[in-house]
Amino acid sequence: QSGMAARVGFDLYMRMLKKSMRQLRGLDLPVVPRSNVLLPGAEGSIEWVDGSAKNEKAAANSYLLPESYIEDAKERSQEESKARLAESTHQLVEITNGWKETYGAIPSKLQKNLKALHLHACLRQLGVDVVGLERGTGDCILRSPGLRPRHWAMICSQLPRGSPPKGLDVIFPARFSFSNDDTEITGGQRVDLEELLNNPQYGDDDEEWDALDEEEIEAMKEISSAQNIKRLSEVDTDNYPRFVVKALGKTAKKGSRVDALLKVLLPPSKVVFQKQQRDKEKAKVATELREKRELIAKQKKEQEKLGSRRMGYQY
């Protein structure tokens, strides 16, 4: 590494290294601890609501395991927390399969609440911090402050035909593509991975990479600010990357919006989950190999010490 830096110059070497790291990072979407879903009628909400709450509509949509399904209060609380903390829809399926074996068939009311949990798992996987309907158009806006063109290119490359789900568009504001206009990627159309990763308009020089690093820091601050808002209009969506499901508020029937969102969000969220699992496995293997090398090196050193003593030399 030092030889390479000496040949090309330290500044150029650091630029090359930073760009390579960017490309290798691929799906490093910022972690979203909680997604704020602001759909009409509290659809998709999993907020805790007191049993005596006057807002019956909110209470009906809050995720609560019925006492009739798990009678023991402590056990019910533990299972509910386990489901809420599930990192992916895959984990949720494993949890609910365990419930079926232990407690029996899932009640219909619980199935509805489980769909909301699946939605939130998808949103967290895709870095979405707030979801709501836009007035007038009825478009569903899913803001993802940490999403970058390279993320979406990598995700779409793993989907059938290399295209995002039909009905799920993505908009990157001009400041993220270093152009004069926003970049919109339409669902159902094939995404050119090389174009998104290598086109100079997506930031090919050192100053632009640094600008994106600063934007990612700002994105984390913005994610935190969206956790307690009550209306979509309270946060800035136009100046951040976002998914758009057009006219969802007008085309999806009342009570079916969660299903409509799951249809387009499940495929890309599964890609993210699978990639993260592969990365974890690679990291585990790499750690094991490093530990084995260190052990071999230690044993070799001990053997050398032993050999030196036998020959009458001090090590």
Q: What is the DSSP string of 220-272?
A: HHHHHHTTT-SSGGGS--TTS-EEEETTHHHHSPTT-HHHHHHHHHHHHHHHH
Residue 179: exposed, middle, or buried by beta-carbon count in 10 A (0-12, 13-18, 19+)?
Answer: middle
Residue by residue, pLDDT tens for the chain (315 residues) are: 455 445 555 555 555 555 555 544 546 777 788 899 999 988 998 875 545 445 555 444 455 788 888 889 899 889 988 998 888 899 999 999 999 999 999 988 888 889 999 999 999 999 999 999 998 899 999 999 889 888 888 898 888 888 899 999 999 998 776 667 888 999 988 877 666 656 555 544 444 445 555 555 565 566 666 778 888 988 889 989 999 999 999 999 888 999 999 999 999 999 988 887 777 777 778 788 888 888 888 888 888 888 777 776 554
Q: How does DSSP classify residue 205?
A: S
Number of C-beta neighbours around residue 226 at 10 A: 23
Amino acid letter, residue 22: R
Structure tokens at 38: 């602001």
Q: Note the pTM of the prediction, 2 decimals.
A: 0.76
β-pair partners for 36: 130
CA distance 42 to 51: 16
Q: For residue 178, how many other CB atoms are within 10 A of its CB? A: 17
| Gap between the Cα atoms of 205 and 48, Å rounded | 47
**pLDDT at res. 315:** 47
Which of 112, 87, 69, 248 has its CA nearest to residue 169?
A: 248
End-to-end CA distance of the chain: 32
Cβ atoms < 10 Å from Cβ of 98: 12
Residue with tokens 């390479």, as numbered in its chain:
4
Give Rg (Cα) of the chain. 25
- Give the distance from CA 32 to its chain's centroid: 7
- Look at the chain and count its residues: 315
Tokens (6 digits) for 50: 């007191």
Q: Give me the helix-helix angle, 108-125 and 257-310, nearest 10°.
A: 60
Residues 59/113, Cβ–Cβ less than 8 Å: no
